[in-house]
Structure 1
Amino acid sequence: MALKHRLVSLDQSIRLKGDEALHEQTDAWSNRDLIPLPPWRRTWGWFNFFGFWAIASLNLANWQTPSTYLTMGLSVRQAMLIIVVGRLLIAMFSALIAWCGLKWHIGFTVQNRYSWGMRASYIPLLQRIMLNFIWNAVQCWNGGRLVAVCITAIWPSFARIPNTFGPDMPTTTYEFVGFVVFWFLSTPFLWLRPEKFKVPFLIVCTWCGIGMLAWMIWALAAAGGVGPLWYQGQTVSATSQWSSSWLIMAGINQAIGGLAAGITNGSDFSRYARAPIHYAIGTVTSCVITGILVSLIGLVTAAAGQKLYGEVYWNPPDLLMVMMDSGNGSSGSRAAVFFLSAGFAFTAMFENICGNAIAGGIDLAGLFPRYIDIRRGAIITFVAAWVVQPWQLINRATTFISVLSSFSVFLAPIMGIMACDYYILRKRKVRLSHLYRTEDTCYWFWHGVNWRAVVAWMCGWAPTIGGLVVSVRGDLNPPRALVQLYYMAFLIGFFISATIFYLLNLAFPVPDMVQYDEVDVYGTFTAAEARRIGVVPLEDDTSIADIQRDESGIHVEVGDEKK
């Protein structure tokens, strides 16, 4: 009996508490971070979104992007064409998926409930959680490499530290120390809530942006111009089974797929916007312009480095180590390398915290709303890096990383369902009060599962999964049709799932899909928003009999759209 009492007491102590007066009820489907965001929590202006996309651009992966396409045999012009087209499509799909968060102020976790059903919404949610865990670990490892360069710039002897690990450990002491330091330096920032990200975004954009420009200018001045890499033309073999057109298509698919995880949960962050115009300006200017510029700067710097050192260094940590002669260079070169590597590391830190840890926190909150909020979920995601052991993934299982990069095969169909349901079937109407309960809700479907979404999702990735398998496996002569489908996986998955989902809803219609609450149940909207949507603010509603409270929270029994 005493044990039971202690367990009950422990359960009550770790449960989340919410302010009922602010509609922050905490139950199996809701908590403070899952309810529609009220106006006072929507603090993101255009610069917040500029910074959000900037940290996704000012990083190692985007710096090295041109190398991916050049190694396919494409020319420099073709590589930059892929980057420009890819960035434009990323901005377009991001706005398409994130607009629900801008209007109804709900995130990805809740957004999927009206498409998949309350229980089946765990299918896309679990995919996101798995990706957050693994990508967080991988990003911590990549950030650790930059930290190791910083330490070497201060103490050159660190580059010669003896390896204390045995032959069975697929890493060195040098790399592992960098990972540990990066992980511990990142941890305090997990306590920052998304509402407070403006200052870190400003620091990251300024520091890393100036550092990249300075690095390119120095490389061009020191080398006296760019090297042969800049003038590289198309080198596709005449015997290749793929023309340059197909390789460009594959590159565009890869460009979008690399950011598919961030596009999918765009509403997690768009819901923090003060107004849609802030999201539009910040996203377009940063996602497109900054993304293209960083790839261009990386290309120019690598080309100038080729002229300086006689070799092409695409990976910034490698080039930085060469610049300071592995720590044996002058104090001036070590100081410059420290500034550059620290800027990259700080950017990697906030890209990881915002894009993986915080996003993981939101997703985990959807699994266990009574016990996990954004902060707790972010901490769990970050601690999971030790369980994932990124040194095993990076240094041994390169094919596993390829699989992760190609996970858009499964994410694109999810986006297709989201877009079709929100824009075409529901006509941009969502009944918020029905997203947080299982009784008397139009989003319960069949035992909490909308089978139409499950079927449409599977149809979306079925045509492209074969190409993913043969590509990752490295088959020498794979079936051409499979690879061609894989080269268009994102667009195929998106539009097939959207079409199948639409047709299934025509054949097996869901009654009254176009619904919304006529009363602002959660105090979500400003007066201007309420007028625009046609919602009555809760405090202005005189039909108090229409508002009922049950054990799942406040909800409203009015509001089918008048037709």
Structure 2
Amino acid sequence: MSKIPPGLSPRLYNEDLAPAEHRKWGTYSLFAMWMSDVHSLGGYTFAAGLFALGLGAWQVFLALIVGIFIVYFLVNLSGYAGQKTGVPFPVISRISFGTFGANLPALIRAIVAIAWYGIQTWLASRAVIVLLLQIWPGLKFMTTNDFLGESTLGWLAFLVVWALQLLLLRNGMETIRKYQEWAGPAIWAVLLVLVFYILAKAGWNVSFTLPGGDARWGIWQAFFAAVSLTIAYFSTLMLNFCDFARFAPTKQAVRRGNLWGLPVNFIAFSVVSVIVTTGTFQVYGEHIYDPVDIVGRIGNVWVILLGAVTFIVATLGINVVANFVSPAYDLANLYPKKIDFKTGGLISAIIAILITPWNLFNSPVAVNLFLGGLGALLGPLFGIIMIDYYVLRKQHVDVMGLFREDGHYTYSRGWNPKALVSFLIAAIISLVLALVPGFGAFSAFSWPIGAVIGAVIHYLLSRNDTSLQAAVTAAIASENENQLPLP
């Protein structure tokens, strides 16, 4: 493990959690990272899924535009904090929750990430199985048995995809950066081929009308629900984007990378996915929302192989970005003396196997209550952390003080009671809105409502806190002493 600088605690410090020294994640690296996050099976079907709210085509696209620009603004907040301080999400959380209290938001984020890490890996293995059976039908005998809810072929496909993701651990974040820089554009290339194929088969004439549902609570509720769902779709990575932005050389690199990767890339990808989905109706007589199914119907062996590789690459991309980096840092934060980034990632991957994610995904109760409930908690965490950093402290933080047990961020035995109370109140409200059927009209808004309530309560409880004001004064003195650039 790393040598600890004098005065810093081994319970809070290791080299992976320390401020980043090598800043190689420029504009293109962050842009490519967002491409990998968006270019997934979930991202492909997201825009088309909004039609189910009862909206027309122009209303869906307007909601996507409004929602993604809000995401862009909020992600910049997280990114700027990471770029300035150079530390990952669990260390950023110490500012508001305390040196040990930060384990609360870190563990919540880690549990969500590990569960989805396993589910995404399994979904990718499903795609691989479908495509393999079309190439080698003789493998079907390996799908007839059952071990812990999955067949032999299912287990083999899952473990192969699982192992491929671990290969990205070899050199930590630098390997991840290099992978993202070619994975995102590669998926775009294959998708564009699919677009031209479907359009040509459809005679270059498609309708943007997709089957939808009824606007149960009115068209305006459906519109703003679509905006809120767009925000919620990025809520996990929005919270811990500082894990990546900490490696950015400048604030401008963060802003530009986010601009190209979010509004520009996300809107373009959504438009393309809707075009392909609507085009399948003219070609196959039905709307096909799964690109794996579309590729499988083309009937060309080489196209099927290309599709298999593409979907594996896409899943590796989103899983590494959204569901691997975060728990690797979050678990390292629990026990920095023994757990570094690579070890935390390995632990996350092992847990992802043990939970048998197919059983989790196939249970509506588990997905809705467990993952839906945990997802609702991310809003309050984001609101508290951001209001604390930008409004209460005005971005003044003694970064090295975050690694001391006797500093301004220790609060009460390492926990900040005010942040904890703010979180509990906002979390209860978010959970009720997300999970209680009687509040169905508000369930889509649980994230923004939780974020606002958490931020407001934390501000009201902390605005006259003398210890917080003393921490800001000490941070300003430290910045002046070290000649750190002010925002």
- What TM-score, normalized to structure 2? 0.92
Show CA shifts across 1:292-324 (max 9, x none).
111211111111112111121112222222332
Aligned residue in 1 for 2:455: 498
Name the SS for the 2:408 alignment partner: coil
Aligned residue in 1 for 2:425: 459
1:102–1:273 CA contact under 8 A, matched in 2: yes
1:257–1:406 CA contact under 8 A, matched in 2: no
1:341 shift after superposition: 2.8
Q: Given the alignment, which residue of 28, 44, 47 partners 2:25?
A: 44
Give structure 2 stretches of 5+ with no counterpart: none
Show CA shifts across 1:147-205 (max 9, x none).
224534543433x3343324x85444443332122112222222232134343123212
Q: Given the alignment, which residue of 212, 217, 231 partners 2:209?
A: 231
2:199–2:206 CA contact under 8 A, matched in 1: no
1:433–1:517 CA contact under 8 A, matched in 2: no
1:258–1:405 CA contact under 8 A, matched in 2: no
Does residue 450 of the first structure (1) align with residue 416 of the second (2)? yes
Name the SS for the 2:475 alignment partner: coil
1:136–1:385 CA contact under 8 A, matched in 2: yes
Q: Give the Cα separation in 2 of the matches to 1:116 and 1:372.
A: 21
Q: Give the Cα separation in 2 of the matches to 1:196 and 1:428.
A: 31
Aligned residue in 2 for 1:13: none
Distance 1:464 1:305, change over 3 A: same
Aligned residue in 1 for 2:485: 532
Q: Given the alignment, which residue of 62, 66, 70 partners 1:85?
A: 66
Does residue 204 of the first structure (1) align with residue 204 of the second (2)? no
- Within a 5 Å distance, the mapping from 1:176-325 to structure 2 comes to 176-227=155-206, 230-232=208-210, 236=214, 240=216, 242-324=217-299
2:72–2:263 CA contact under 8 A, matched in 1: yes
Residue identity over aligned pairs, in percent, reads 23
Does residue 413 of the first structure (1) align with residue 348 of the second (2)? no
Q: Give the Cα separation in 2 of the matches to 1:227 and 1:93.
A: 35
Q: Give the Cα separation in 1 of the matches to 2:265 and 2:357.
A: 29
Q: Give the Cα separation in 1 of the matches to 2:466 and 2:478.
A: 26
Q: Give the Cα separation in 2 of the matches to 1:425 and 1:26.
A: 26
Distance 1:111 1:400, change over 3 A: same
Aligned residue in 1 for 2:471: 513
Q: Given the alignment, which residue of 299, 302, 326 partners 1:359?
A: 326
Q: Give the Cα separation in 1 of the matches to 2:27 and 2:118.
A: 30
Name the SS for the 1:385 alignment partner: helix
Aligned residue in 1 for 2:144: 164
Give structure 1 stretches of 5+ with no counterpart: 1-15, 325-332, 472-477, 535-563
Distance 1:111 1:468, change over 3 A: same
Larger radius of gyration: 1
Q: Given the alignment, which residue of 23, 31, 35 partners 2:18?
A: 35
1:59–1:347 CA contact under 8 A, matched in 2: yes
Q: Given the alignment, which residue of 127, 136, 144 partners 2:125?
A: 144
Matched letter for residue 501 of structure 1: H
1:430 shift after superposition: 0.4
1:252 shift after superposition: 1.8
- What TM-score, normalized to structure 1? 0.80
Q: Give the Cα separation in 1 of the matches to 2:252 and 2:463.
A: 34
| Higher RCO, Cα 8 Å, sep 6+ | 2
Matched letter for residue 17 of structure 1: S
Aligned residue in 2 for 1:9: none
1:66–1:299 CA contact under 8 A, matched in 2: yes
Show CA shifts across 1:408-439 (max 9, x none).
42111111111111111111100122211212
Q: Give the Cα separation in 1 of the matches to 2:56 and 2:166.
A: 42
Name the SS for the 2:471 alignment partner: coil
Which shifted more, 65-74 or 402-411? 402-411
1:17–1:26 CA contact under 8 A, matched in 2: no
2:117–2:323 CA contact under 8 A, matched in 1: yes
Name whichever structure is richer in helix by fraction. 2
Distance 1:75 1:405, change over 3 A: farther
Does residue 97 of the first structure (1) align with residue 78 of the second (2)? yes
Aligned residue in 1 for 2:404: 437
2:430–2:447 CA contact under 8 A, matched in 1: no
Matched letter for residue 280 of structure 1: R
Which shifted more, 334-343 or 383-392? 334-343
2:37–2:317 CA contact under 8 A, matched in 1: no
Distance 1:198 1:463, change over 3 A: closer
1:269 shift after superposition: 1.1
Q: Give the Cα separation in 1 of the matches to 2:404 and 2:114.
A: 28
Aligned residue in 2 for 1:549: none
- Within a 5 Å distance, the mapping from 1:366-405 to structure 2 comes to 366-395=333-362, 397-403=363-369, 404-405=371-372
1:75–1:235 CA contact under 8 A, matched in 2: no
Q: Give the Cα separation in 1 of the matches to 2:104 and 2:181.
A: 36
Aligned length: 484
1:344 shift after superposition: 2.2
1:24 shift after superposition: 12
Does residue 489 of the first structure (1) align with residue 446 of the second (2)? yes
Q: Give the Cα separation in 1 of the matches to 2:66 and 2:150.
A: 37
2:52–2:212 CA contact under 8 A, matched in 1: no
Aligned residue in 2 for 1:126: 107
Which shifted more, 47-56 or 68-77? 68-77
Q: Give the Cα separation in 2 of the matches to 1:161 and 1:184.
A: 24
